[in-house]
A and B are shown apart, each in its own frame.
Chain A
């Protein structure tokens, strides 16, 4: 993709998020001037960016929005509901157009739609008067700076003022504050002031910095901030001119010091760190072998291994931290989609999203959207009643759907709740029996909570029931599978008549997975250790044929035996000793027969991609220390 476009897609969407965040604030507090400023900035920057592409309608509507916002800002007024709605519609539409641009270009009729939106924006009734924005007072340092003889006559020429207070021991670190000052762009004047009174020469310590430097620059605040980027904790900077602008600390200026990294390089880095972990375990084997020859050499090897382990685990930690991204870009479409869905289904919905700035591993962030979107669709389509039905049931016509994201320890908790009709266990039992997913007797033995979980069975949401909205042929079973693929769990809390809450728990970091390698039909595969209950060896004769299948006894239980090689379309094992891996991922215990059990390793499993994406039962791949690729099997899918 064109690099410029790629950059725009990233930044444009960030700006949409920023705009929506401001709109959310304004919805609650229409007079919030900081939110108006933020919305204005986002709109203004977006307008500038869309102009670079074939997006004239977007430019038109953003210009109209900007014009209205200028008016709001200038008059210190607040946005009224009509203008707010028009602004939300505008930002939503620009968001859609950004998606469309990525997919190839704006649809026909975009220009007409743009005109309509601009009309709506300019005709939306203005605005309730608010008390004028209070002038913010200058902080003490700026008051002092303005009064300095060296500086006060030059204030008129200056754009930016700064006070740099170097750490007293900065000389020891090799810092030279004066060379930083010399590098400030368009420096106009400086004043050097002692932090306390000047000491006498007899008592002065020449190697401690005892001064601050106040200065004026004709350059903009960003340029001055850039000059001091290495000492963000020692500098305060303020724009001059209108004192309405609060001085900005360089610390707030995080964006300038962040670097956008291609996520593929990050994946590669993580994979390489994973390989290091695996390579490190090779040293263990080496130490064991060395034991037989020279025990002190073996000890040294173990020490070296321990040191490498420490370093490599620190590296993995740092990479996990880098890989943790904000969920905001992933979830930014949710509010818009909720509005669109509710509208298309004739439902009145208030959607709230809390905690979208929570950070989680990129893999989690990337893969979380689909299941959450499905839950959202499900909640709006099936969970929430029509306004009429709600009123009849004694509820408010407007339903509430909420998505709440939080971190608890090393788990990411996502809760999608609605105050709709709830899941009636009796209806679910009946539905599952009707669709022949479960025997009628079995259905009756299930507790209500277990019965509600029947909705996760493949085939429970049939085509007849799936509306155009929830459709696309995926049922709740797909949600469950997606969550399980992320090593997460999902619970249902539902009270008929009162609402439903889906509670998802996921790991925050998903960088390495414990795997057991097994050999089957001549190929080595990885199985996730958390999907394995036990491994065992039994006499092959102890496996008996029952009907079409094979069973064996393990710990007084009869387990079905499946040959992994046969499941993968190869000839089965024939050795006298059967090596078995017992798993319970499908809800019942199954013994998988393999040719050999390998070792337990920590490995980073990459989601399947490319050609492998279409192969069922492949959960992902991992690169082994020797560079070979290990296929990690998805047992739930393989056994489904």
Chain B
């Protein structure tokens, strides 16, 4: 017999069994800690059933009767659009200051990186609460919130894109006597442009969802309409609004995916 040690199947099984037991114990403990009882769904099923019955049929007449609905959809789209454009622009600029291969002052670069990381960890629902108190409820607070979250998400994504840009073309441009800014303009930006637009479309997609959620917290738009319908117990209106929202998100997501696929396909 050789001295070579192998991982014995019995030892492996012991490890797996221990790990599984720990996970099960942990889940059970946490469920009892916050009094989360999954079985309630089955025992109290009739409540959910009654609620669903009240939600149907959806009141699509709402879209004709109430002009505000169309406007609120437009408002949500506009919020997501502006949040993406302004936040994307600021995140774009900041990411250049955070990319290792572009910005050469380590102290300021780490500052930019930390700044982007910091605004990324604050949940958007916390940001909207602050803005609603500071500037009052409505789409202005919503757009400001989206700008802040977009800077965080987009800045992080785009910093990575910039850091993955190829070194070689830049070197050849430096060799022709070009300045740092010229290298950014003629080597880095052409390289990252498709990823820039693709990320922007992706962030717009995220912002659409966020804009609806923010509406509930005072950001205006169709999210606010849905919240109001629920509060005054107009469940059939709410169902109509929910289907409308899902439909709208599907259109936005598919358009964004289609355009991104085209862009990245072209990249070769």
Partners in one complex: no
Interface residues of A (CB under 8 A from B): none
Chain B residues proximal to chain A, CB less than 8 Å:
none
